[in-house]
Amino acid sequence: MVDAQTLEHTKLSTRLLAGRDFLVKTPQCVSYLKQMHTWLTTGSQGALVHGRPRLGKTSATRWVLKVIPNLIGNFPVVEVPIRDQHIASERAFFQHLLRCIKHREAMKGSAGDKRDRFSEWLIARAKRSPINAAVLFFDEAHLLQDHQYSWLLNIGNELDKNGCRLFCLLVGQPELADKKLKLIEDGMEQIVGRFMVRELEFSGISSQLDLVATLTEYQETIYPIDSDTLFAENFIPLAVRGGFKLNSIGPAMWASFEKLWIHFRIDKEMSIPMHYFTSALIGTLNSLVKHDAHSLVVPQETITDSVNASGYKDSLRILLASLDKYKRTNSRS
């Protein structure tokens, strides 16, 4: 029988790993925010943000889009997840966009009706924003097809005609960068020129300093919102009240991740995806629950076990395989 406290911890852990419960500012997020600020305030109409899976691109983008209105004012943002939907036709594509904004009339009418309905929705909101712009955030944008970019061009033109700007934020995996090259090769500069001039390669936590900074963010986070409980207090309340600082485990955690990196001999700058970092942190905190005390000492092996169990090791294996494949392809060509 699972006790109520354990159940509560499990729920909390699951919610955190799902990535929607709260967004944490990482050094990468800060740099992303700066970029985004520049893009939106210098008239850009789109940008590519790409990186390996599980780096936390989606969460970082959500965080940036949530924070940036404090700097430049409100503007409409539509998050469009691109998965394996049947959105090959223009009608289905705009229907998908209308459903993303929970439009009451999403299902009615022809492709043209749906396009106009969506443009109207965007323009009405963009016109009221201080930057006269609307942002479409395409998640997993590497799955977008050429003709879908053309439809986005039409929407962009429609906004442009009415004194507004459409900014397409294309967030996806590294194939997105390849897609840009392919579009140039295929002579579709208008798409690249419009949406892909600006580019950001997203990476995970790449230094001990970054890792400690991220831990500090977690340390200062109040959770649940509107409570006066610090995030770590949900697991180790006595220790937190006794002065335990979450960022104190930073060097040990960095060492455990580094050890795995070195073990796989990857010939690249080290990077820890946010997903594995969060998983390792949650794992560590869960392990500490039963040792909670005013003067808590965190054993290195608890952290190492949590890092090992985070899935980071498997992800490095995949990374190594893909790098080998890349090298082979390059050497053949």
Positions touching other proteins (CB under 8 A) are: 62, 65-66, 77-79, 100-105, 108-109, 112-114, 116-118, 120-121, 123-125, 127-128, 162
Per-residue tokens: 283? 């794992």
Q: Amino acid letter at 83?
A: R
Residue count (the chain): 333
The minimum distance between CB 237 and other proteins, in angstroms, equals: 32
Could you give the CA distance from residue 92 to residue 86 in angstroms, rounded to a whole number? 7
Per-residue tokens: 10? 């499990």
Among residues 5 and 157, whose Cβ is nearest to other proteins? 157
The minimum distance between CB 268 and other proteins, in angstroms, equals: 33
Among residues 166 and 211, whose Cβ is nearest to other proteins? 166
The minimum distance between CB 33 and other proteins, in angstroms, equals: 16
The minimum distance between CB 195 and other proteins, in angstroms, equals: 20
CA quadruple 130, 114, 176, 174: dihedral sign? positive
The minimum distance between CB 208 and other proteins, in angstroms, equals: 33
Residue closest to 231 by CA, chosen among 3, 16, 14: 16
Residue closest to 305 by CA, chosen among 270, 253, 264: 253
Among residues 112 and 243, whose Cβ is nearest to other proteins? 112
Among residues 63 and 261, whose Cβ is nearest to other proteins? 63
Could you give the CA distance from residue 206 to residue 214 in angstroms, rounded to a whole number? 11
Among residues 30 and 78, whose Cβ is nearest to other proteins? 78
**Omega into 224 within 30° of 0, i.e. cis?**
yes
